[in-house]
Structure 1
C-alpha cells in the first residue's frame, strides 16, 4: 500500500516540477516576445525621429538657401541699379564734356574776333593820334599858344564867368528870401492855427457827484464814518459830504483817482451794499476798468489821427494823457492838437505829414511815465520812444522840442513850433493849477521815499497828507517818528500856504473765509 502512495506522490511531484518548468518556459517565451516587440517599436520610433530630423534639416537647408538666394538677388539688384546709375552719370559727364568742348571752341572763336577788332581799333587809335597831333600843331602855329596855355586860359575864363553868374543868382535868391521868408512863415503858422479848432479843456481839482436823495449821504458815511474813511483810504480822494443838496464833492489833484472814486461811488450807490469790504472790492474793479479805458482811449486816439504800428505800451501812455494836464491844459487834447498842427505844417513845407503827426502826438509822453525818474520830460519821452523802436527822427523830435538836445531833422523844429502854438493860444494854459498839482504830487512823492510807506494821499487841497504804512514794517513808536520826520522835511524843503497836517496810519487786518 505504500508503494502506490509513494508512486503517486512521486508522480505528483514530477507533474508539479514539469508544470513549473513548462510555466517558466512559457514565461521566458512571452518575455522574449515582449522584448522583441519593444525593440521593434523602439526601432520604429527611432526611424521616425530620424526621418523627422532629416525633414527639419532639409527644411532649414531650403530656408537658408532661399534666404541666401533672396540676399543674393537683392545684392544683384543693387549692383544693377548702381551700374545703371553709373552709366547714366557717365552719359551725363560725356554730354557735359561735349558742352564744355563746344563752349571752349566758341570762346576761342570769340576771343579771336575780339583780338582782331582790338587790332583794328588800335590801328585806328594810332591814326587818330597822328591826326590829333597834326591838328594841334596847326592850331598852335596859328594861335601862337601851346595846348596847355590855351586850356588854362579857357578854364580861367569859364571859372570867372561861372562865379559871377552864381554870385548874382545867390544874391537874387537871398534878397527874395529876405523879402518873403517872414511873410511866408507867418502865413504857414496862421493857416495851421486856423485849420485846427480844438476846444480848451481846463482841469480842476474837484468833481461833484450827484445823488438822488440826501438819505444816501448817511449810507455813504456809514456807522461812525467807517464807510467814508474806507473809501478815502482806498481811493486817496477826500469825500466832502456837506449840506449841499443832492451832491457830494470829491476833492483831489489826481484826475485818475477822482474818476475812480466817482465810478466806485456810482456803483456802490446803484448796488446798495455799502461797507468797507465791498468798497475795497468795487474800487479794485473800477481801477481795472479805468486801466482798460486808458488803453481804449490810446487806441481810439491813434485811429483818429491815422497813426499805425504804435507799440502797446506807447498806446497806453497816450491813453494816460487823458487824465493828466500841463499848466491846466488837458495833455491828450494838447498832444492831439500838436499832432494835427505838425501834419499841416509839414504838408505846407513838403515834408511827410504822417511822421510829423506821429512825432506831435508822442512829444509829451515823458509827462506820463509809470515811474518818475529825475529826467526832463522831453529826454524821458525820447528814451521811451527809443525803447519802443520808434524811428530816429521821431525820437530826436521828441527829445529836442525843448532844446535839451541838438535838432537833427526838420521834424524837430516843426514839433517845437507846434507845441508852442498849442500851448500859447489865449486861455490854453493856466499856470496856477499846474503849480498846485505839482505841489501835491511832490508831497506824496516825499512821503513815499521813506521805507515802509505803502500809500500816500494829499487831500484837502494839500492841507493834509495821509501816509499809510505796513503794520509788519513799522511799529507804533516808529509811526510817530515818521510823522515828525516828514513834517520836518516839508517845512525845510517845500513852499506851501498855511500848514500841512501829516497823518500816519498803521492798521492790522485779519481776514478769514467761511466755507
Structure 2
C-alpha cells in the first residue's frame, strides 16, 4: 500500500511539474506574439501619423504662402498711397517756398527803389549842406571882424586891455555864482534835512517803542565779606605764603587793608576777577587754606565760571535769536557777561544793539538776520582786548572772520566806529550802538572826564571867526553856537555849522552823534523919548 501511495504521489508531482512547464511556455509564447503584434501595429500607426502630419504641414505652408501673398499686395498698395501723399506734400511745400521767394523778391525790389530815392535825396542834402557851410564860413569871418572892432572900441572906452577886462568879469561872476550856489545848497540842505529828520525820527520811534531793556551797571568794587578778622590772617598765611599763592594762581591782586571783615579782589580781566572771587569765597567757607587747597578750589571755580560763561553766551544767543554761530563765538560772547564799558554791561549792551539793529533793518527793508547778527557781535572784540593789540572793532572783525561769519557782518563789525562806512549794515549797527549808549542811565563817566569832554567841544567851536558864545548841552550831544550877525549871514551860517562838524570829527573821539546848531540873531533897538 505504501508503495502504491508513494507511486501516486510521485505521479501527481510529475503531472504538476509538466502542467507548470506547459503554462510557462504558453505564457512565453503569448507574450512573444503580443510583442510582435504591438510592433507591427506601432509601425503601422506611426506611418499613418507621419503621413497625416506631412499633409497638415503642406496645408499650413500653403496657407502661409497665401497669407504672405495677400499681405505683400496690401503693403504694396499702402506704399503706393504713402508715396502719393509724400508727393502731394512736397509739391505743396515747394509751392509755398516759391510763393515766399516771390514775395521776398518783391520786397527787395521795393527796398532797392527806396534806397535809390534816398541816395538822390542824400545828394541833394549834401549840395545844400555845402552851400550852408560856405555861408557859415562867410558869416564867421564877418563875426570875427565885428568882434575885433568891438574889442578895440571897448579898450578905447574903458582903458582896460582885453585880458584885464576878462579877469575882472570872471571875478564878479565867480562871486555871484558862489553866493547863488551857497544859497541853493542851503535851501536844498534844509529841505533834505527836514525830510531826513522826519523819516529817521519815525523809524527810530517805531524801533524804540518796540524794545525796552534793563540797565545793568558795573559794580566797581569787588569786595568779599569775611566772618572775622582771624580769617584775614589765614588768607595771608605764614609769611604771606597763602596770599602769594592766591595771587599767583588766580592772576589777580588780593587787597587786604584795615577795612573790617572785608577783602578786595583787583584785576583788569573781569573773568579772572570773577574766578578769583569765587575761589576766595569757597576757601573761606571751607576753612582749610593752603597752597594745594587753593589750587584745587581754583580749578573747580574756573570750570564753574567757564560753564557760566558758556551758558550766558547760549542764553544771549537764544534771547536775541541769532543762528549759525560757532561755539567759540558763543563762548566769547558769554565772557562779556563780566565785562563793563562806561559802567554798562557789555553783554546786555550787545543784546540790545542786536535787537535795535533788527528793528531798524526791518523798517529800512534790509536783511534783518544780518543786521541783528552784526549788532549782537559788534563788541565781541572787547572780550579779547586785553589779549591782543588793536581796537575792539578790528579784533572783533578778525575773530568773526576766523570762525566763518559772512563778510557783510564782518564789515559791519569792523566799521561800526568808523566815519566812513561801506555798507548799509554798518550804518545800522552804528546807529543801534549810539541809540543803546544814549539811553538815560545806560552809561556813566567820571565827573572830571565829563567836564573835560564838554570843554573840548566848546573850544573847537570857539576857534572859528564870528563865533560869540558856545554852549555844550544834553551831556555833550548838542552844541549851540551863537554868532555875530554882522560877520555871519544866513547862508554862511550853514557853512559854519558844517565846518564845525568836520572839525569835531577830525579832532575829537566820542560815542554816538553830536548835533551842532548855529544861531544867528539880529536885533534892532530904538528909544522913544
Tell me the TM-score normalized by structure 2.
0.48
